[in-house]
Structure 1
Amino acid sequence: MSEQAPRIAIFGAGVIGCYIGGCLAAAGAPVTLIARPRIHDQIQASGLTLTDWQGRNQHVDAQALTIALEPEALAGQNVILVTVKSGNTVDAANAIAAHADTDALVVSFQNGIGNSALLREHLPGHEVLQGMVPFNVIAQGQGRFHCATEGHLALEESAGAAKLIERLSAAKLPPLLYPDITPVLWGKLLMNLNNAVNALAGIPLAEELADRNYRRVLAASIREALQILHQAHIKPARTGKVLPALVPTVLSLPTPLFRRIASAMLKIDPDARSSMADDLHNRRTTEIDFLNGEIVRLAASHHLRAPVNERIVSLIKAAESQGKGSPKMTGPELIQAVLHR
Structure 2
Amino acid sequence: MHFIVLGAGAIGCYVGGRLAAHGQAVTLVGRAHALQPIAAHGLRVTDLDGFDHTVPAGAPALRLAATLAEAAPGADSIVLLCVKSGATESAARELAAACAPGTPVISLQNGVDNVARIQALAPGLNVLAGMVPYNVVLRGAHVHRATAGHLQLQRDAATERIAPVFAAAGLATVLPPDIRAVQWGKLLLNLNNPVNALSNLPLRQELLDRNCRRVFAALQSEALGVMARAGITPAKVTAVSPTLLPAVLRLPNWLFTRLAKRMLQIDATARSSMWDDLEAGRVTEIDALCGAVVRLAAQQGMAAPLNARMCELLGGPRLRLGGAEMRRMLGV
TM over 0.5: yes
1:45 is aligned to 40
Equivalent residue for 1:261, pick from 259, 262, 265: 259
8 Å CA contact 1:13–1:34 kept in 2: the answer is: yes
Distance, in Å, in 2 between the alignment partners of 1:239 and 1:134 is 8
Deviation per residue, 1:250-294 (Å, 9 max, x gap): 000011011111111111110010000110011110000000111
Deviation per residue, 1:218-259 (Å, 9 max, x gap): 110101100110011100000001000001100000110111
1:71 is aligned to 68
- Asked if residue 339 in structure 1 is aligned to residue 331 in structure 2, the reply is yes
Structure 2 counterpart of 1:279, one-letter code: D
Equivalent residue for 2:193, pick from 192, 195, 204: 195
Q: Which stretch has the larger CA shift, 278-287 or 103-112? A: 103-112
The equivalences for 1:209-248 within 5 A come to 209-248=207-246
1:306 is aligned to 304
8 Å CA contact 1:83–1:110 kept in 2: the answer is: yes
- Asked if residue 112 in structure 1 is aligned to residue 111 in structure 2, the reply is yes
8 Å CA contact 2:153–2:159 kept in 1: the answer is: no
- Asked if residue 329 in structure 1 is aligned to residue 328 in structure 2, the reply is no
Distance, in Å, in 2 between the alignment partners of 1:253 and 1:121 is 43
- Asked if residue 34 in structure 1 is aligned to residue 29 in structure 2, the reply is yes
SS at match of 1:196: helix
Structure 1 counterpart of 2:87, one-letter code: N
Structure 2 counterpart of 1:316, one-letter code: L
Distance, in Å, in 2 between the alignment partners of 1:121 and 1:17 is 23
SS at match of 1:245: coil
What stretches of structure 2 of length at least 5 have no aligned partner?
A: none
Deviation per residue, 1:200-232 (Å, 9 max, x gap): 001100000001010110110101100110011
Equivalent residue for 1:172, pick from 170, 173, 194: 170
Structure 1 residue 126: deviation in Å?
1.7
Structure 2 counterpart of 1:120, one-letter code: Q
SS at match of 1:265: coil
CA RMSD of aligned residues (A): 1.1
8 Å CA contact 1:228–1:299 kept in 2: the answer is: yes
Structure 1 residue 331: deviation in Å?
1.2
Structure 1 residue 140: deviation in Å?
2.4
Structure 1 residue 74: deviation in Å?
4.0
SS at match of 1:189: helix
Distance, in Å, in 1 between the alignment partners of 2:161 and 2:44 is 25
Structure 2 counterpart of 1:339, one-letter code: G
Distance, in Å, in 1 between the alignment partners of 2:257 and 2:41 is 39
SS at match of 1:88: helix
8 Å CA contact 1:74–1:99 kept in 2: the answer is: no
8 Å CA contact 1:250–1:258 kept in 2: the answer is: yes
2:53 is aligned to 58
- Asked if residue 149 in structure 1 is aligned to residue 141 in structure 2, the reply is no
Deviation per residue, 1:173-210 (Å, 9 max, x gap): 02110232000000000000000000000110000000
Structure 2 counterpart of 1:67, one-letter code: L
1:3 is aligned to none
Distance, in Å, in 2 between the alignment partners of 1:32 and 1:234 is 37
Q: Under a length normalisation based on structure 2, what TM-score does the superposition of the two structures give?
A: 0.96
Deviation per residue, 1:75-99 (Å, 9 max, x gap): 2341000011111111111111111
- Asked if residue 12 in structure 1 is aligned to residue 20 in structure 2, the reply is no
- Asked if residue 21 in structure 1 is aligned to residue 21 in structure 2, the reply is no
State how many pairs are aligned: 328
What stretches of structure 1 of length at least 5 have no aligned partner?
A: 1-5
SS at match of 2:262: helix
8 Å CA contact 1:32–1:73 kept in 2: the answer is: no
Runs of 4+ in 1 over 3 A off after TM superposition: none
1:132 is aligned to 131
Structure 2 counterpart of 1:66, one-letter code: R
Distance, in Å, in 1 between the alignment partners of 2:128 and 2:184 is 16
Structure 1 counterpart of 2:270, one-letter code: A
8 Å CA contact 2:150–2:171 kept in 1: the answer is: yes
Q: Which stretch has the larger CA shift, 267-276 or 66-75? A: 66-75
